[in-house]
Amino acid sequence: MSDYNKEIAEGFELLTQGEFEKSLEKFITAIEIDSTRPDAFSLASEAFAQIGDIENAKSHAEQAYKMDSGKPEYVLQYASMLYATGDSEESLKLANEAQKKGEMPEIHLLKSNIYMDMEEAQKALKEAKIAFEMDKNPIYRTNYAIVLKESGKIKESTEILTKMIQEKPDDLDALYLLFQNELAEEHLDEAMNYITKCISLNDSEPLFYSELASMMEDFEDNEKAEKYYKKALEVSDNDPEMAMQLAEFYQSMDKIQEGIDVLEGAHSDEDPEYFLMMGKLLLGKKEYNKALSHLDIVIEMADDPEAKIVKGTCLMEINRLNDAQSILKEALKQDFQTEYVESLLNQIWWKENSKKFKL
């Protein structure tokens, strides 16, 4: 066996064992031995994707595609990487190119996802159905069920998922999707049954506790809602997203300090949603200057219209009406919560003019 083939074979075995970084080392070595063969670039792309390095995954998939654009697997891989990096239109072109070179269910799965992102539900449904009919692998069945639901065909979606759990009762993906379907249909007892089954199968998934907490909140059982939001935060190891959900719950209960404490325990310097939630809580606590500093961070990071509205409300509270009017007009241009923003601007107008009218 040549050195090149040895590195490829060892790398592939490591890849199938989940040793992605070690497999990547093998594929890079193979590329150094012979940089004219597309299979090493393709496998390296897969390894890069598995460790979350999408840009390198894309560049290596592109190299494999350029070396052998006649092989549909390389065309599809590059199309998938383009989709992963947000270039849906170019990805769709390449998916169609791959389809001309050879039919594979993976091509129709990708096209289905692209069309869903483009909000072309019927095209997405058509592609999902083709993939499902070509291969009854759970990934294609699950995708078809998801697209059916998104297309308003919840009954058909539920039928597919029910059959899946009849064949495999511990299929977590199918159980969670059934929970979502029953919740959408307001079959609350059935939804509760499915989400509790999910937790019994995987008690370390924060999403399941979060969903259960949300249901308890809808049932106005705030004690259980708090319990499950706390559990979601615990099993997530203080994940900022879970912390924000609990903080939002505390805000709705007017437990402002508890919400602030939760967020401070899961501080995130990179997520504008974190600063927005903290700004709302500080506004509720009437710590206006602190609230404004957090909201300014959100606006700088994301130009978020909601942050501008909350900032405008905060400025109104401290009677900085001109500044409030200015930031609210900016929010109005972004076409977000238009009626509410207009009502705030009207309040400012009345505050400024009430003395003229002796009101």
Tell me, yes or no, whether 73 and 26 share the same domain. yes
Q: What is the pTM of this model?
A: 0.82
Q: Which two tokens stand for residue 183?
A: 């919740």
Residue 206 in domain: no
Phi-psi category of residue 86: left, alpha or beta, with phi > 0 → left and psi -120 to 50 → alpha: left
Tell me, yes or no, whether 257 and 336 share the same domain. no
CATH number of the CATH domain containing 26: 1.25.40.10
Tell me, yes or no, whether 184 and 133 share the same domain. yes
Q: What is the pLDDT of residues 262-282, one digit of tens each?
A: 999 888 888 999 999 999 999
Measured CA to CA, the distance from residue 212 to residue 208 in angstroms comes to 6
Mean pLDDT of the residues in the chain: 95
Stretch among 29-38, 142-151, 266-275 having the lowest mean pLDDT:
266-275
Measured CA to CA, the distance from residue 14 to residue 128 in angstroms comes to 32
Residue 110 in domain: no
Measured CA to CA, the distance from residue 140 to residue 158 in angstroms comes to 15
Average pLDDT over residues 121-129: 96
- What integer pLDDT is reported at residue 15 of this predicted model? 95
Stretch among 54-63, 228-237, 251-260, 346-355 having the lowest mean pLDDT:
346-355
Residue 210 in domain: no
Asked if pLDDT for residue 359 goes beyond 70, the answer is no
Tell me, yes or no, whether 97 and 10 share the same domain. yes
- Residue indicated by tokens 């957090």: 294
**How many residues are there in the chain?**
359
Asked if pLDDT for residue 40 goes beyond 90, the answer is yes
Measured CA to CA, the distance from residue 343 to residue 268 in angstroms comes to 33
Tell me, yes or no, whether 191 and 231 share the same domain. no
Average pLDDT over residues 179-208: 97
Residue 209 in domain: no
Tell me, yes or no, whether 275 and 320 share the same domain. yes
Residue 108 in domain: no
| Neighbouring residues of 305: CB distance < 8 A, sequence distance ≥ 6 | 330, 331, 334, 336, 337
Closest CA to 229 of 257, 199, 251, 250: 250
Angle of CA points 185, 209, 213, to nearest 5°: 65
Asked if pLDDT for residue 358 goes beyond 70, the answer is no
Neighbours of 157 (CB within 10 A): 23
- What integer pLDDT is reported at residue 18 of this predicted model? 95
| Neighbouring residues of 133: CB distance < 8 A, sequence distance ≥ 6 | none
- What integer pLDDT is reported at residue 268 of this predicted model? 82
- What integer pLDDT is reported at residue 352 of this predicted model? 84
Please count the CA atoms within 13 angstroms of the CA of 12 that sit on its side-chain side.
11
Residue 211 in domain: no
- What integer pLDDT is reported at residue 230 of this predicted model? 97
Tell me, yes or no, whether 69 and 34 share the same domain. yes
Give the range of the structural domain holding residue 61, as residue numbers without chain letter. Answer: 1-102
- What integer pLDDT is reported at residue 221 of this predicted model? 96
Q: Which secondary structure element, helix H or strand E, spans residue 183, and what is its range?
A: helix 172-184
- Residue indicated by tokens 């069945």: 141
Tell me, yes or no, whether 288 and 341 share the same domain. yes
Domains contained in the chain, number: 4
Tell me, yes or no, whether 286 and 333 share the same domain. yes
Tell me, yes or no, whether 294 and 252 share the same domain. no
Tell me, yes or no, whether 9 and 88 share the same domain. yes
Average pLDDT over residues 313-325: 96
- What integer pLDDT is reported at residue 286 of this predicted model? 96
Strand ranges in 195-294 using DSSP code E only, listed in sequence order: none
Please count the CA atoms within 13 angstroms of the CA of 287 that sit on its side-chain side.
14
Q: Which two tokens stand for residue 334?
A: 């972004």
| Neighbouring residues of 214: CB distance < 8 A, sequence distance ≥ 6 | 225
Tell me, yes or no, whether 234 and 280 share the same domain. no
Asked if pLDDT for residue 1 goes beyond 80, the answer is no
